[in-house]
Structure 1
Amino acid sequence: MRKPRRVVPRMLAPSRILRTTPSQAGGGREREDLVDYAEHAIAKGSRSFALASRLFDRDTREKVWLLYAWCRRCDDLADNQDHGGTLGEEEGAERRLTAIRLLTERAFEGLPTADPAFDAFGLVARESGLTREMAEDVIMGFELDARGWRPRSEADLARYCYHVAGAVGVMMAQVMGVPRDDSWMLDRACDLGLAFQLANIARDLDEDDKADRCYLPVEWLVEEDIEPGQHLKPHHRQELTDIAARLIRRMERHEAYARLGAAKLPFRQRWAILAAARIYGAIGRRVVELGTRAWDHRVVIGRLEKLRHVAAAFGEAVRNKPEEPPEPPAWTRGAILIDVRMAQPIPPPPMEPLADE
């Protein structure tokens, strides 16, 4: 009786043609294609920032667009919306946040993500030396929004503004070539982001309320004797106006300190930053000027006025002599970071596969 022949499992394909996915910045996509995608994303998502970004030199401009595309896409995924439009259903927020983290990690590794916004981020991260910690600081802001978080204290508001805007400012500074160890310049970049976010909060109180969101600290509402969920009611318009003015006073302090940082940048970068600061600052100050009528309609700055701010920023960039602010902002990046690192973190969702195996 013959001995049975041993069966050796055969590979489905010869080993010589099996390859691991190569690591390439941008996931293998052409840089030109990613820049085109990012340009379209910023033009659709933020007309004010899109205009200011045109003032950068070409290399900086393209990197800023690439970073913006990732920020915009993460925000849209977290809120289940399209380019900042109407908020979608909250169901599935955990899974969307998992997707953001997984795709961002693949982007850092240079692996294809099947999403040009994340591939764009992988490219600019590789070119500019962005870190995973920087990215996670920003993702934490999307997570707070996706989970319906609301600030109870002023320190809570500071941390929120840092995650959704200050941390983005830090990344933008590095994209512009600011060294990672230049803490003073990164602080000023953070100031600019905080200023932008404070202006946005003051302007968008009505829109946020319709989306069942509120970024005003509970402590501030209590100080004004505003009942929970009632801050947009007509009988509280004056109190709301006072709170908005409080936000804009803080905005102006951060804006002034951001100007000190802009003075250290090359001319084209300085011009772009000053133009953006002027446009967003004008939005915040318009809210204060309108008083109780500030939320009857969304405050916008027309194109002609934006162009005037661009021209004024040019003159300011040429002179390059920012005034020393009379007093520093109450919030500093160092203090916020201490609070962020010490605060009880929101545990990240489990790293589940994006699709069934």
Structure 2
Amino acid sequence: MIHAELHAAGIEDSRLAESYRYCRRLNAEHGRTYFLATRLLTPSQRPAVHALYGFARYADDILDDMDDDASAAEREQRLDRLSAKFFSGTADESEPVLPAVLHTARTYRIPLDLFDDFLTSMRMDLTVTDYPDRAALNRYMRGSAAVIGLEMLPILGTVGPPGEAAPYAEALGRAFQLTNFLRDVDEDLERNRVYLPADELAEFGVDRDVLMWCHEHRQTDLKVRRALSAQHEVTRTVYREARKGIALLAPQSRPCVATAFTLYSGILDRIEAIDFAVFSQRASVGTGRRLRVFVSGLVRARRARGYGAA
């Protein structure tokens, strides 16, 4: 399968192919929902998407790998080294994701400032532990989520000027990450981070201490439940805006993005269904539901490819 994808994308160099394989493994192991959706893209599109995911995951692991006891200074040095090699175009074996992501950036002419924004947000995780308001959180998400959608646009293709689809691509990136913030609030506390606007939590009498109480007691305080419900509605609003952009994508790419949209918003549904008990369980979409959504997307993807060929 992977050989066919690489061949379809015109990737024949063995060293470059190994980097793409590495990125694909990262996607398959750590981004189950995202990886499933990529199966609905054409084979020639998939390696580039895996490369973008692989680069993002690799950088994120430098900062957040709980099994790595590296100090903050050591993590910062590693991130700086990755950044320096990326922007100098140095694709050596010490950073296995770089050959693939550099090749993808060149092939699809992805603006390098998007990667700079991404790495800037990654550096914020070294020192920033709380966000006072929505504006501050949005500045972080500009690099950690919105630019991911923008990086994807040249690979997915659009039916009109890419600039028309760009705001919706950014919104979809934010929607996915806001979903993660709600699902992973307990896990993020273990890393001493809160990715929820402090002023909006305060409206419900919630602060970091209250969240830590929930974390320590494995239960959701009533005040916290109300605060998370409000954050849930904000995220729903972002999803509604992002949905408008799916129709602006190239037909062969719509089933993939629509499937990712459905599955990620399904996580949001599950968070609500478990009554925001995110401190005692992890909200996820069941395997049966995932497969049903995937099969439906597969049917649409095949139709779209036939349309594209015609």
| TM class, shorter-length | 0.7 to 0.9
Does 2:96 match 1:116? yes
Q: Structure 1, residues 107-161: CA drift from partner, whole Å, max 9, x if none? A: xx36536322011111101111112211011111211112234211111112222
Conserved? CA contact 1:274–1:317, under 8 Å: no
Does 2:69 match 1:53? no
Shift in alpha-carbon separation, 1:113–1:178, aligned structure 2, 3 A: farther
Conserved? CA contact 2:165–2:249, under 8 Å: no
Q: Structure 1, residues 296-329: CA drift from partner, whole Å, max 9, x if none? A: 1111222221112224546788999xxxxxxxxx
* CA distance in 2: counterparts of 1:319 and 1:41, whole angstroms: 29
* CA distance in 1: counterparts of 2:61 and 2:160, whole angstroms: 28
Q: Structure 1, residues 11-40: CA drift from partner, whole Å, max 9, x if none? A: xxxxxxxxxxxxxxx9x7644322222211
Identical positions, percent: 23
How many angstroms does 1:267 deviate by?
Answer: 3.1
Q: Which residue, out of 194, 199, 209, partners 1:219?
A: 199
* CA distance in 1: counterparts of 2:202 and 2:235, whole angstroms: 22
Residue matched to 1:283: 267
How many angstroms does 1:231 deviate by?
Answer: 1.6
Residue matched to 1:70: 55
Q: Which consecutive residues of structure 2, in runs of 5 or more, have no partner in the other structure?
A: 1-10, 305-310
Does 2:78 match 1:93? no
Conserved? CA contact 1:128–1:177, under 8 Å: no
Residue matched to 1:208: 188
Conserved? CA contact 1:165–1:194, under 8 Å: yes
Residue matched to 1:104: 86
Conserved? CA contact 2:175–2:235, under 8 Å: yes
Q: Which residue, out of 289, 292, 309, partners 1:305?
A: 289
Which deviates more from structure 2 when the two are superposed, residues 228-237 or residues 118-127?
228-237
Shift in alpha-carbon separation, 1:317–1:118, aligned structure 2, 3 A: closer
* CA distance in 2: counterparts of 1:252 and 1:175, whole angstroms: 26
Shift in alpha-carbon separation, 1:179–1:118, aligned structure 2, 3 A: farther
How many angstroms does 1:227 deviate by?
Answer: 3.9
Question: What TM-score, normalized to structure 2?
Answer: 0.83
Residue matched to 2:254: 270
Residue matched to 1:42: 27
How many angstroms does 1:179 deviate by?
Answer: 9.6
Shift in alpha-carbon separation, 1:86–1:175, aligned structure 2, 3 A: farther
> What residue identity is the alignment partner of 1:99?
R
Residue matched to 2:18: 33
Conserved? CA contact 1:278–1:313, under 8 Å: no
* CA distance in 1: counterparts of 2:67 and 2:94, whole angstroms: 25
* CA distance in 1: counterparts of 2:276 and 2:139, whole angstroms: 28
Does 2:162 match 1:197? no
More helix by share: 2
Conserved? CA contact 2:181–2:195, under 8 Å: yes
How many angstroms does 1:70 deviate by?
Answer: 0.8
Conserved? CA contact 2:23–2:50, under 8 Å: yes
How many angstroms does 1:224 deviate by?
Answer: 1.6
Shift in alpha-carbon separation, 1:40–1:158, aligned structure 2, 3 A: same
Q: Structure 1, residues 233-280: CA drift from partner, whole Å, max 9, x if none? A: 248622222222222222222222322211122333100101111111
Q: Which consecutive residues of structure 1, in runs of 5 or more, have no partner in the other structure?
A: 1-25, 321-357
Aligned residue-pair number:
288
Conserved? CA contact 1:232–1:240, under 8 Å: no
Q: Structure 1, residues 75-106: CA drift from partner, whole Å, max 9, x if none? A: 11233x2xxx5564443233123112112113
RMSD: 2.7
Shift in alpha-carbon separation, 1:293–1:87, aligned structure 2, 3 A: farther
Q: Which residue, out of 201, 209, 212, partners 1:229?
A: 209
Conserved? CA contact 1:137–1:167, under 8 Å: yes
How many angstroms does 1:293 deviate by?
Answer: 2.4
Which deviates more from structure 2 when the two are superposed, residues 200-209 or residues 217-226?
217-226
> What residue identity is the alignment partner of 2:100?
A
Shift in alpha-carbon separation, 1:76–1:244, aligned structure 2, 3 A: same
Conserved? CA contact 1:35–1:66, under 8 Å: yes
* CA distance in 2: counterparts of 1:266 and 1:178, whole angstroms: 5
How many angstroms does 1:199 deviate by?
Answer: 0.5
Conserved? CA contact 1:52–1:276, under 8 Å: yes
Shift in alpha-carbon separation, 1:93–1:35, aligned structure 2, 3 A: closer
Shift in alpha-carbon separation, 1:228–1:77, aligned structure 2, 3 A: closer
Does 2:131 match 1:147? no
Question: Tell me, what secondary structure is at the counterpart of 1:251?
Answer: helix
* CA distance in 2: counterparts of 1:86 and 1:224, whole angstroms: 35
